[in-house]
Amino acid sequence: MDKRPLPFPGFGTLREAARGGHRCEGELPKAAYGATITYCYEDAEGKLWVTNEEYASQVNFCPYCGYKAKVEAGKVQ
Let me know if residue 50 belongs to a domain.
yes
Let me know if residue 75 belongs to a domain.
no
| Total structural domains within the chain | 1
State how far the Cα of 42 lies from the Cα of 50, in Å rounded to an integer: 9
Let me know if residue 62 belongs to a domain.
yes
Per-residue pLDDT of the chain (77 residues; tens, 9 = 90+): 455 545 444 455 555 555 557 888 877 666 677 677 888 888 888 888 888 877 888 999 998 889 999 999 887 76
Question: 10: domain range?
Answer: 1-67
Let me know if residue 74 belongs to a domain.
no
Let me know if residue 39 belongs to a domain.
yes
Going from the C-alpha of 48 to that of each of 32, 45, 51, 61, the distances in angstroms are 27, 9, 10, 7
Collapsing DSSP to helix, strand or coil, 42 comes out as strand
Let me know if residue 18 belongs to a domain.
yes
